[in-house]
Structure 1
Amino acid sequence: MCAVIFRIAAFIYMFDVASAQEPGSTIDYQPVWSYDDEANWPGRHCREGGRRQSPIDIKTSDVVHDFTKQFIKYGPLQFTGYHKVLVSGINNGHTIQFSSEGEEAIHPVLTGGPLKYLYRLEQLHFHWLSEHSINGVKYPMELHFVHVRADLTVYEALGKRDGLAIVSVFGNVQAELDDYQQEASELMQHIPKLLKTGDRISGVLLDMKKLLSPNRESYYTYSGSLTSPECNEAVIWIIFDSPIFLTDAQYRLFGKVGVGRHNFRSLQKLKHHVVFAPAETKLHMPQIVLFFEDVIRVISDFFTNVGTFMSNGIQTE
């Protein structure tokens, strides 16, 4: 089994230190894998597929409203300590990532919903376009809050079906935002400092609760995998259906981030996936805001050679 080092000093993007670096070694921030070459990603599950690979297209007609508490057994989601989070930021060549700083005991924690255990927040990162889609429709952005089960080491968590919990928040884009849509404004002031691979900042205090969905009672959830090498099937996904908003100018800024043409994994074939939703929640149908033509041009390169996921549905692994 190829060694995956999940946490080394700066906690490099969702396990992409799969190049098996040892603790204490010098970290090379140049990508060791590419979104343009998924067939050669490290990790057997990445190359050969598995039973529950992610991301997927979520068909709302197939979502199971969990009246019998088959999967969502543990009450409302409970987010603790997200109001003021000390983080460091880095452009690791695949995304911009903000990692929790300080002792694990002071990290924000999440429990409830489908989560039997307590999970500590390790980092937040971004994908543009979104990785998951809803009824074949992708959002301009998807934020991932990556958590590790608090009673496990990181290495142990990667081998457990519920070792990790990733909270996903879609990002929508419009020309101007109302006062109540300023969720990302605090975060966005730091993005210009992280445009080049290897750029980093530290000592940043973020109110991450603002970046969570405005409706945290309405979500999809399923057992899946990491969407980057080594694609471990160790993730409970919690995907809010109500997005946060960015202005078109804020979104254009991500087009300047030096991570290549795009940074989302292709949609995976449905196998043993079952997507649940809270029993009494009325899910919102996705509404993608139409925005300026120049923003369309910014994201057009992302689609080059990626495939027509909108028309072809879910891609094979």
Structure 2
Amino acid sequence: MSEAKTQENGLAVLAILIEAGEEINQGYGSIFNYLGHIRYAGQKVAIPAFDIKLLLPDNLSQYFRYNGSLTTPPCHQSVLWIIFNERVKISHSQLMKLQTVLYSSKEEEAEPMALQDNYRTTQPLNHRTVLSSFIPVSVKIYTAGEIAAIVIGSLCGCIGLAVIICFIVKTIRLTSSWDVLPSIRPAPQPRLQDMAKESKEDVALKTTTNPTKPEEAAPQPET
């Protein structure tokens, strides 16, 4: 182990995601039942043999794989991680035992320190490639044609929406203009009959004047 962890791809880790439920997991019970014998750091206990397949999910064909590191110092970059997609369930009581029974301090220490929240924070990907033995259901793989269709459809939808908005704005403005027009409408013009009557009166007045009366000569300027 000490030699393998310093070599590239020297270690392989099978990782399983655990989910708490109502049913007690008998496979993990083979380990959890002995936690009381190793409560403090440095203690050891012998566990009777059991089938380790009981610790693994039923479907072992779906997994993720990537090159990573150890989760504890000095965190050598020598681990081939294999994370199974299917989760394993344990009971809430088993989870509580795992969280409260163990201590990270030694037995002789006055104030024991619970073995909790000792996980390593998420690290940058560092250009790693995560491989998958299957196509995840939540991931949709699109072809180049489908991507082009989605882009063109989105553009057409945006253009259509813009046209509709412009039409609505113009309609609102036109309606508002018609509402304002009556208040600024000019006064009504005289009717044609009134205009004709006024023209006849002008003609009558002109005919009553003396046509034989000579027009007065305009005074000549003195020389």
TM-score, normalised on structure 1?
A: 0.37
CA distance in 2, matches of 1:227, 1:209: 24
Equivalent pairs, count: 127
CA distance in 2, matches of 1:195, 1:213: 27
> 2:209 aligns to what?
none
> 2:29 aligns to what?
185
> 2:132 aligns to what?
277
Identity of aligned residues (%): 25
Instruction: Answer 1 or 2: which has greater strand percent.
Output: 1
Among 96, 103, 107, the residue aligned to 1:258: 103
Among 15, 18, 21, the residue aligned to 1:168: 15
Contact 1:184 1:245 in 2 (8 A): no
The one-letter amino acid of 1:160's match is Q
1:201-242 Cα deviation digits (max 9, x unpaired): 125313211101221001000011111111111111000111
Pair 234,253 (structure 1): closer, same or farther in 2 beyond 3 Å: same
Q: CA RMSD in A?
A: 2.1
Pair 169,183 (structure 1): closer, same or farther in 2 beyond 3 Å: same
Pair 191,282 (structure 1): closer, same or farther in 2 beyond 3 Å: farther
The one-letter amino acid of 1:177's match is E
1:269-291 Cα deviation digits (max 9, x unpaired): 1112110011xx24467xxxxxx
Contact 2:64 2:131 in 1 (8 A): yes
Pair 261,189 (structure 1): closer, same or farther in 2 beyond 3 Å: closer
Among 228, 235, 241, the residue aligned to 2:79: 235
The structure having more radius of gyration, on CA atoms, is 2
Pair 182,204 (structure 1): closer, same or farther in 2 beyond 3 Å: closer
1:18-71 Cα deviation digits (max 9, x unpaired): xxxxxxxxxxxxxxxxxxxxxxxxxxxxxxxxxxxxxxxxxxxxxxxxxxxxxx
1:73-96 Cα deviation digits (max 9, x unpaired): xxxxxxxxxxxxxxxxxxxxxxxx
Give the secondary-structure state (helix, strand or coil) at the position aligned to 1:193. Answer: helix
Give the secondary-structure state (helix, strand or coil) at the position aligned to 2:46. Answer: strand
Give the secondary-structure state (helix, strand or coil) at the position aligned to 2:45. Answer: strand
Contact 1:218 1:240 in 2 (8 A): yes
Structure 2's unaligned 5+ residue stretches are: 105-114, 139-223
Pair 203,244 (structure 1): closer, same or farther in 2 beyond 3 Å: closer
The one-letter amino acid of 1:255's match is Q
CA distance in 2, matches of 1:160, 1:230: 13
> 1:214 aligns to what?
58
1:82-141 Cα deviation digits (max 9, x unpaired): xxxxxxxxxxxxxxxxxxxxxxxxxxxxxxxxxxxxxxxxxxxxxxxxxxxxxxxxxxxx
Give the secondary-structure state (helix, strand or coil) at the position aligned to 1:231. Answer: coil
Give the secondary-structure state (helix, strand or coil) at the position aligned to 1:228. Answer: coil
Give the secondary-structure state (helix, strand or coil) at the position aligned to 2:76. Answer: coil
Give the secondary-structure state (helix, strand or coil) at the position aligned to 2:16. Answer: strand
- Residues 1:159 and 2:6 aligned together: yes
Contact 1:187 1:206 in 2 (8 A): no
Pair 284,204 (structure 1): closer, same or farther in 2 beyond 3 Å: farther
1:163-207 Cα deviation digits (max 9, x unpaired): 110110111101x218xx543232222222222223321253132
> 2:213 aligns to what?
none
Contact 2:70 2:77 in 1 (8 A): yes
Contact 1:183 1:244 in 2 (8 A): no
Structure 1's unaligned 5+ residue stretches are: 1-5, 7-153, 286-317
> 2:186 aligns to what?
none
CA distance in 2, matches of 1:247, 1:238: 24
CA deviation after TM superposition for structure 1 residue 266, in Å: 0.7
TM-score, normalised on structure 2?
A: 0.52
Contact 1:221 1:238 in 2 (8 A): yes
The one-letter amino acid of 2:23's match is L
1:295-316 Cα deviation digits (max 9, x unpaired): xxxxxxxxxxxxxxxxxxxxxx
